[in-house]
Chains A and B, each alone.
Chain A
Amino acid sequence: MKFTLSWLKDHLETASSLDDILYALTDLGLEVEEVVNPLAKLAPFTLAKVIHAEKHPDADKLRVCRVMTDEGEKQIVCGAPNARTGITVVLCKPGDYVPGIDVTLGIGKIRGVESHGMMASERELELSDEHNGIIELPSGEVGQKFTDWLAINRPGLADPMIHVKVTPNRPDALGVRGIARDLAARGLGQLKPLPIPAIKGGFASPVQVEISDDLKTKGCPHFAGRTIRGVTNGPSPDWLQARLKAIGLRPISALVDITNYFTFGLNRPLHVFDAAKVHGKLRVHAAQGGEQFAALDGKTYTLRAGQMAISDDQGIESLAGVMGGEASGCSPETTEVFVESAWWDPITIAATGRALKINTDARYRFERGVDPAFTMPGLDLATQMILDLCGGEASDIAQDGAALDTTRAYKLDSARVISLVGMDIPEAEQRNTLESLGFTLNGDMATPPSWRPDVLGEADLIEEVARIASLSKLQGKPLPRTTSGVPRPILTPLQVRERTARRTIAALGYNECVTYSFIDQTAATLFGGGTDAVRVDNPISSEMSHLRPDLLPGLLRAASRNQARGFGDMALFEVGPAFQGGEPGEQHLQAAGLLIGQTTPRDPYGSRRPVDVFDAKADVEAALAAIGAPARTQINRKAASWWHPGRSGVIGLGPNMMATFGEVHPKVLAELGVKGPAVAFTILVANVPSPKVKTPTKPALALSDLQAVERDFAFVVDKGVEALTAVNAAIGADKVLIETVRLFDQFSGDKAEAQMGAGKKSIALTVRLQPSDKTLTEADIEAVSAKIIEKVSKATGGTLRG
């Protein structure tokens, strides 16, 4: 909402300074976004007088002038035809910035003659487009500031423009008068009265109006207008044009400018029809759907059923409350005008405007709420202004329906105001505030004014009182603690686990990313998503069309971008939501890591090697352990389709899947533009079971003083045999004596098969035996070794390697 200071002062009798007004506006909730002082750019310029002008010795069209300035006599070369002795001019000195030509002046030499500044035209000072000559002022003294001269002689130009952000609850503040009322309530002056003229109609309006029955109760309860004949629709007067221009509107003609003036001045949008082009009665009705409407913006719209239109015998003439029609629009030739003042249902207007994508000042106001009691006063005021500016004769009023009665009252609980706001505002002040905002108080019941549709309960009264009293005066008061003593932990186990997973993975050398929750359909589909259920209906781009089913596609896209920047080695991770469906709650927490390239940069120690599955496995196991996963888990090969089928595994407990690790499927990498191979892991954080026993006490540590013994065993097995089978078989050989079993070597490949036979490999286990009651004898060790060999051979079908 934009207005000028002088416009505000039409409604507010005030002695307050501009700064005080600006402060109060923001503090009242009408946040000042911008203030434009049109004179600021003219501040350096002063008045001067040409005391002598003569032709330039070397140029026919230039004159050399001697000019009296506040700094004495100066020589200025000027090309303007009107530069002559005796005129008072506007002087721009060397060093001044001239806005209209975007130049900071220096001392110039024009065809060999020095020039100490320039005398400006209106265009050079951005006052108008006038550039036929330099400005000649009819009055003014040498040295006087040009801005001071303008403030006295052309005050319209000196009017600061104020732009405030009006929150959607305040339609009344979409008119200058509503803003003035807030300021008056704050104590910055008095709201001036707005006398409503009594218009006497000289004849019956040739244009009559009618609201169809189905709209009378809701869509359009009140529609009124008046014909004025014999008008002259020329340009509007300078003061009106200046105001409209100041707020960024283009003056069109007196009639149109008047409607805009009422829209912004009084939040009373109006429409003017060229009455000569209206055929028969104006009828407010709901569109059938499919009608074509040529609007004032030059576009043709197809209406949908239920949208409100105003039609005459020839068809739709206006899209009610949103935009007028081209056919019956006013032009400079208009001599007979029908002024419409109506009240439209905000919801219908909003829906229509949104459906047709039309944004107008009228729609903006009607959908927020225009004062239903001001339909007729607004019409009278507008009629008077038309008569004043365009002449003519007004008809009787034509109307249908009646002003909506919005009377309602709410209890003002002054104690509650104090308790809720935490400020000591005396009851009398509370009542004063409401009355100055136009509320009517009857005992403790407050009736809001008709222009405040937003006030719908007691809470709204409290807000009004607090707002006018000024929240900036609020002093903080400590929020009492809920418990005495040391604060209790507040995170849920899952929240703690999320943090632990994040910190652990970062500690393993991964960089945390936060990627978008929505990804492109190609990527989503590759990871088991991309269905309609998770499709965003109005995505901002095709790259963000589907909720992510998994975190890896986002990380892979990030990896691809980093590869494009020249980074080949990286470890990225993310902890965040993934979406298995499009219903609320169909999301789950994942922690995913991605390794690409080499383990380290090149170094002199030979540390560098390509990352592989067992790097990912080490990291996923570390992260799982950190968030409390049991030490003994199972690994199966049922990884999803985006993993390398032979180089991936699922870590779980029975049917419960906790994590997947492995190489990402090369096809997926190719689709996402990632140079592989890449290894990764995904943890389903919530699937990790919580520890059964919740105590900080650790189990007792049983240390044996007896010597532990390690024995190594190598087996020849088929190359498809999994290491874990052998390890688990070995552990099963003696659950008391065997402390750990670890695979420490594998020999496979051509050389191995050459030695051990086709399709064979060898695996080597180290078994640590920890006796607890007596030292092991060689015989004990032999016995358990035999059992290990037997168990492993049986489980793997292999033999001890000789």
Chain B
Amino acid sequence: MDGLDALKAKYLTAVANVADEAGLEDLRVAALGKKGEISALMSGLGKMEPDQRKAAGAMLNVLKDEIDAALRAKKAALGDAALNERLRSEWLDVTMPARPRRVGSIHPVSQVMEELTAIFADMGFAVAEGPQVESDWYNFDALNIPPEHPARQEHDTFFMNRAEGDDRPPHVLRTHTSPVQIRAMTAQGAPIRVIAPGRVYRMDMDQTHTPMFHQVEGLAIDRNISMANLKWTLEEFCRAFFEVPSVELRFRASHFPFTEPSAEVDIRCSWEGGQLKIGQGDKWMEILGSGMVHPKVLAAAGVNAAEWQGFAFGMGIDRIAMLKYGIPDLRAFFESDLRWLRHYGFAALDMPDLAGGLSA
């Protein structure tokens, strides 16, 4: 079996030099194919003596394996080279823009309403609703604001048109969310815990006022709820809502016809470089009005004031949204300027919950 080394060298050189898969296949056939050189030598083994055959067979097998391995390695290398060449040709400018996708947004008022709801739901408050066109009884009388009371004039009320011959007092666009207190208590009685977020209307339009804005009413009635409970509830709310470690509230005596005692509530804050920080600093900012529900209001809603007592508060939603998110201008809330909606809006899936943090 002389010449095997030469044969090996011949094929290994040829494999090394072959340029494409077709040439490689030709080599494989020439060497290992049924009629190839190696196969021919293999078939010559039968004519040999057993001893000779054994030795020559082993050598041929080694040679066959070596050439086979070289062929396979070369095939893989050629494949890689071809793929690399294809990939090189498939180059794209990946700095080109992505395929456009429209991105929507949630209005800050909606977002903040959901934040409020998440916090108060945890404290056992349901969400009550009421009509925005209200009778003057619900908007005023039932809340202990009789017709000629100066407080009624201070509400800058929008009145609805009254048809000729309809002698009822004109309906109003509700000036606050407080009438929902009456409706909720009338429907449910006591005990009760509700918040009532929604649109309210006042005839006022200037730098800081719009004729429509949003309020949230809170109401908690039970057998022995006190103003101290009110303070705690508001402290907890503000801490959770403004997402600060602690807040400090100050109650200031005030007057609302539907609560007694009444208090305006200030929150400790600082203003530095146009930046508001809640919970620290030496300034106080008024954020809401509150008090213990007036016995006459309870009575108007059919709740026995000798048996039940509790608190109510009202807060501007747009205002606390402005404070929390640093939105400068109330009027822009209702302008629907796309630039504003996109900048101050929230992602569709940015749903406030207490587990993850409201604005996380």
Chain A positions within 8 Å of B, measured between CB atoms, are 26-29, 31, 167-170, 346-347, 350-351, 354, 367-368, 419-423, 457-460, 462-463, 466-467, 470-472, 474-479, 481-483, 487, 489-492, 495, 499, 502-518, 532-541, 544, 547, 555, 558, 561-562, 565, 567, 570-573, 575-577, 579, 582-587, 599-601, 603-605, 607
Residues of A near B104 (CB, < 8 A) are 505-512, 571, 573
Could you tell me if A536 and B160 are in contact, using CB atoms closer than 8 angstroms?
yes
Residues of A near B138 (CB, < 8 A) are 584
Residues of B near A516 (CB, < 8 A) are 211-212, 334
Count how many pairs of residues, one from A and one from B, have CB atoms less than 8 Å apart in the complex.
281
Please give me the residue from chain A that is nearest to B210 by CB atom: A516
Known pairs A29-B255, A573-B104; list 11 more (Cβ under 8 Å).
A29-B254, A31-B252, A368-B150, A474-B227, A474-B251, A481-B124, A491-B117, A512-B105, A514-B334, A570-B338, A585-B133
- Complex CA gap A368/B149 in Å reads 8
- Complex CA gap A29/B254 in Å reads 5
Residues of B near A492 (CB, < 8 A) are 127
Given A511-B105, A538-B203, is A421 in contact with B227 using a C-beta cutoff of 8 Å?
yes
Residues of B near A587 (CB, < 8 A) are 131-133
- Complex CA gap A419/B253 in Å reads 18
Cβ contacts A to B, 9 pairs, < 8 Å? A28-B253, A421-B261, A422-B231, A457-B295, A471-B227, A471-B252, A491-B121, A540-B158, A584-B131
Nearest chain A CB to B252's CB is how many angstroms away?
6
Which B residues from 187 to 220 make CB contacts under 8 A with A?
A: 191, 193, 199, 201, 203-205, 211-212, 220
Please give me the residue from chain B that is nearest to A565 by CB atom: B337
Residues of A near B109 (CB, < 8 A) are 514
Given A368-B150, A479-B123, is A514 in contact with B333 using a C-beta cutoff of 8 Å?
yes
Given A483-B124, A532-B163, is A476 in contact with B231 using a C-beta cutoff of 8 Å?
yes
Residues of B near A599 (CB, < 8 A) are 102
Which B residues from 224 to 256 make CB contacts under 8 A with A?
A: 224-229, 231-235, 249-255
- Complex CA gap A795/B202 in Å reads 58
Residues of B near A583 (CB, < 8 A) are 133, 171
Could you tell me if A487 and B150 are in contact, using CB atoms closer than 8 angstroms?
no
B316-341 contact mask (Cβ, 8 Å, vs A): 1 or 0: 00000000000000000111111101
B90-108 contact mask (Cβ, 8 Å, vs A): 1 or 0: 0000001101111111110
Could you tell me if A419 and B224 are in contact, using CB atoms closer than 8 angstroms?
yes
When the two chains form the complex, which single residue of B96, B173, B203, B255 contacts A170, counting CB atoms closer than 8 Å?
B255
- Complex CA gap A478/B236 in Å reads 9
Residues of B near A28 (CB, < 8 A) are 253
Could you tell me if B122 and A471 are in contact, using CB atoms closer than 8 angstroms?
no
Residues of B near A518 (CB, < 8 A) are 173, 211-212
Could you tell me if B124 and A475 are in contact, using CB atoms closer than 8 angstroms?
no
Interface status of B348 (Cβ within 8 A of chain A): yes
Interface of B is mostly: mixed
When the two chains form the complex, which single residue of A537, A547, A562 contacts B338, counting CB atoms closer than 8 Å?
A562
Given A471-B253, A604-B96, is A168 in contact with B260 using a C-beta cutoff of 8 Å?
no
Residues of B near A489 (CB, < 8 A) are 121
- Complex CA gap A474/B191 in Å reads 24
- Complex CA gap A28/B99 in Å reads 63
Nearest chain B CB to A615's CB is how many angstroms away?
10
- Complex CA gap A459/B292 in Å reads 9
Could you tell me if B252 and A27 are in contact, using CB atoms closer than 8 angstroms?
yes
Could you tell me if B211 and A544 are in contact, using CB atoms closer than 8 angstroms?
yes
Could you tell me if B255 and A540 are in contact, using CB atoms closer than 8 angstroms?
no
Could you tell me if A346 and B158 are in contact, using CB atoms closer than 8 angstroms?
no
Could you tell me if B263 and A471 are in contact, using CB atoms closer than 8 angstroms?
yes
Interface status of B114 (Cβ within 8 A of chain A): yes
Could you tell me if A571 and B121 are in contact, using CB atoms closer than 8 angstroms?
no
- Complex CA gap A197/B198 in Å reads 57
Residues of A near B233 (CB, < 8 A) are 476, 479
